Amino acid sequence: ASYCASTAVYLSAHQSIGVPQPLIVFGTEEQKQKFLPRFATGSISAFALTEPDVGSDPAKMTTKAEPTPDGKHFIINGEKLWCTNGIRADIMVVMAQTPAKIVHGKPRQQITAFIVERSMGGVENVHRCEFMGLKGIQNGLLRFNNVKVPVENIIGGEGQGLKIALTTLNTGRLTMPAAVTGASKYCLQSVIEWSNERVQWGSKIGKHEAVASKIAAMTSTIFAMESVSEIASVMADKKETDIRLEAAMAKLATTEASWKIVDGAVQIRGGRGYETARSLKARGEKPWAVERVMRDARINTIIEGTSQIMRLFIAREAMDMHVRNIMSVIGPRVSFFKRIGNFFKAFAFYAVWYPKQYLPGSTVPEGVPSRLMTHFKFIGCNAKKLARHLFHAMMIYQTNLEGKQHLLAKLVNVGTDLFSMSCALSRAVYLHQQNPSDDGALELADLFCLQARGRIRKQFSGLFFNRDKFVYKVAQNALEGKYRWLESDIF
C-alpha cells in the first residue's frame, strides 16, 4: 500500500469486501466448505453493490432477483457500476432486490446477497472504467442477464443484504486507514530525503520554518493515523463490540489527513513532486512517485463512503440514543398512555444524564507521563461538551437537524479528533512503557494533540454562530444562475 495503491485496492476488494469476508461472517458451513478453498488456489472475488443511478442509498437499487416457479433458483437482472475486480472476478457477492415481504400489513423491501459465479453464464463485462489514478485496478460496469443462481447461494437469508453490506463495509473501511497510512509514510520518506538534500538560500530546506512545520505536522499526524488504524483493527479482531462507529471515524480521520499529507509532499518537493516518476528517472533523478500517489489518493475520501456520508452516518449513530428516547414519546404509532409513561421515563433519564455532562471529565489513567496528562483531561472534558452540544442541537432543530449538515459535520469533526487523540495517546503511553528511554512517541502524540485541540476549539466556536445560512443562500443563487456572468468568458 505504501508504494502501489492499486495493489492495496485489489486485495481489499478481494478479501475485505469480496466474497471471503461476508462468507466467513454470515455464510453457512456448506458455503464456506464450497467457496473458501477456491480463494486459496487463485480465484478472485468482488463485491457488487453500487449501480449507475444508486450510490450511497442502496435501498433504491434496481437490480432484481426473481424466484423461479420451483423455488430452487433466483434469476438476477440488472447492472452494477464501479465493481472493483469485477472485470476479472470469477466469484462475487451481488446485492439484488428480491420480492417484498408483508410486515405489519405493509410491503417491506427485501435486499438479498447472492454468491454469483461467472461460470453460471449471463455475467457481461460492459465496460472497464478508467480513473484519474489507480490505473492498475480492474474496475467496471457489469450487466447481469438472466443469471440463474441456486437458493443455496444466498448469504444470510433473504432480506439480509443490507445488513451484510453494512457489516462488510466495516471491514472494508478498516483497510482504508492501513492503506492510506502506508501511502502517507511513503510521502514522508520522500519529503525527509528531499528536505535533507535540497539547499535554498544557504540552508537545507528542512531547516526553514515553513517546510519544517509541514514536516512536523506530517510526522505527528502519521503517528496518530497508525494509532487509529491499529486500535480500530484490534477492536475488530476481538469481535466483542459493534465497531460501526469506530470504523467510520477511522476511515474519515485517516483518509482526510492522508490527503493533506500527500498535498504537502507535492508542495515541498515542488516541480519534482508534480513530475512523474518515469520522467524523473529518464533524466537521472530518483523516481519518487509522489505525483502518482496524489492521483491515487484522491479517491480515498470517496470510496467506502464519502466523507460527507461518513459524517452523516457518524452523526446518526451518535444521536441514536436520543432519537430512541424522543421517538418513544412523539412517535405516531405510540399510544397516548404509553406516550405519557415514556415521557416520564425520558424525563427521569435526562434529569440524571444531563447534569453529569457538566461534571469534570474522567480521571487520567495511571502511568501517563506528565506531558500528556493535560491531553487526557482535555478529552474527558470535551467529550462531555460534545455530548451537551449534540443534545442542544437536537432540542433546537428536532426533526430538522438532519438537514443541518454543516452543524453535524462540525460535531463529527470534534468527535473524530477526540477519537484520534485517544488512540495516539494510548499508543504513545504503551510504546513509552516498552522503551522508557525513547520519548519519540510522546513527542509525536503531544504535537498531534496540541494541533487537534486547536481544531476542536475552532469547530466548537462556530457551532451555533456562523455564516452557514449565507453560504447556503449563495450556493442556491449559483445553482439558479444568478452568477452566470462568472462563466461567460470561458471556452
The model's pLDDT over 415-448, given as tens digits with 9 standing for 90+, comes to 999 999 999 999 999 999 999 999 999 999 999 9
Do 210 and 136 share a domain, yes or no?
no
**pLDDT higher than threshold 80 for residue 331:** no
Model pLDDT, residue 491:
78
Q: What is the mean pLDDT of residues 324-348?
A: 85
Tell me the C-alpha distance between 461 and 342, whole Å.
Answer: 35
Tell me the C-alpha distance between 438 and 426, whole Å.
Answer: 16
Identify the band that residue 191 occupies on the pLDDT scale cut at 50, 70 and 90.
Answer: very high
Do 210 and 153 share a domain, yes or no?
no
Do 430 and 464 share a domain, yes or no?
yes
Among candidate residues 131, 159, 187, the one where a domain is terminated: 159
**pLDDT tens by residue, 441-454:** 999 999 999 999 99
Do 77 and 204 share a domain, yes or no?
no
**pLDDT higher than threshold 80 for residue 481:** yes
Is residue 111 a contact partner of residue 155, using CB atoms and an 8 Å limit?
no
Do 155 and 169 share a domain, yes or no?
no
Domain interval for residue 386 = 310-475
Do 233 and 360 share a domain, yes or no?
no
Tell me the C-alpha distance between 374 and 378, whole Å.
Answer: 6
In a domain, 460, yes or no: yes
Model pLDDT, residue 399:
78
Which residue matches cell numbers 453493490? 49
Do 335 and 466 share a domain, yes or no?
yes
Q: What is the mean pLDDT of residues 211-238?
A: 96
Q: Given 304, 443, 480, 487, which residue is catalytic?
A: 304
Residues 6 or more apart from 145 whose CB is under 8 A from it?
77, 122, 123, 124
Cα angle: 24, vertex 21, 79; to 5 degrees: 125
Q: How many CA atoms lie within 13 A of 216 on its CB side?
A: 15
Q: What is the mean pLDDT of residues 176-200?
A: 96
Which residue matches cell numbers 460496469? 141
Do 264 and 406 share a domain, yes or no?
no
CATH number of the domain that 124 lies in? 2.40.110.10
In a domain, 228, yes or no: yes
Identify the band that residue 214 occupies on the pLDDT scale cut at 50, 70 and 90.
Answer: very high
In a domain, 486, yes or no: no
Weakest mean pLDDT among 95-99, 183-187, 315-319, 474-478: 315-319
Do 370 and 438 share a domain, yes or no?
yes
Model pLDDT, residue 293:
97
Model pLDDT, residue 56:
61
Do 350 and 292 share a domain, yes or no?
no
In a domain, 485, yes or no: no
Model pLDDT, residue 416:
97
Identify the band that residue 342 occupies on the pLDDT scale cut at 50, 70 and 90.
Answer: confident
In a domain, 68, yes or no: yes
Model pLDDT, residue 266:
98
Among candidate residues 305, 322, 339, the one where a domain is terminated: 305
In a domain, 250, yes or no: yes
Do 298 and 243 share a domain, yes or no?
yes
Split into its structural domains, the chain has a count of 3
Do 174 and 253 share a domain, yes or no?
yes
Grid cell, residue 320, equals: 441514536
Helices (H), 65-208: 161-197
**pLDDT higher than threshold 80 for residue 362:** no
Is residue 156 a contact partner of residue 28, using CB atoms and an 8 Å limit?
no
Grid cell, residue 481, equals: 444562475
In a domain, 480, yes or no: no
**pLDDT tens by residue, 117-140:** 999 999 999 999 999 999 999 999
Model pLDDT, residue 329:
82
What mean pLDDT, rounded, does the chain reach?
93
Does pTM top 0.85 for this prediction?
yes
Is residue 195 a contact partner of residue 210, using CB atoms and an 8 Å limit?
no
**240 noted as active-site residue:** no
Count the neighbouring beta carbons within 10 Å of the beta carbon of residue 253.
27
Among candidate residues 252, 282, 305, the one where a domain is terminated: 305
CATH number of the domain that 470 lies in? 1.20.140.10
In a domain, 490, yes or no: no
**pLDDT tens by residue, 128-174:** 999 999 999 999 999 999 999 999 999 999 999 988 988 888 877 88
Model pLDDT, residue 400:
86
Model pLDDT, residue 305:
86
Tell me the C-alpha distance between 469 and 462, whole Å.
Answer: 13
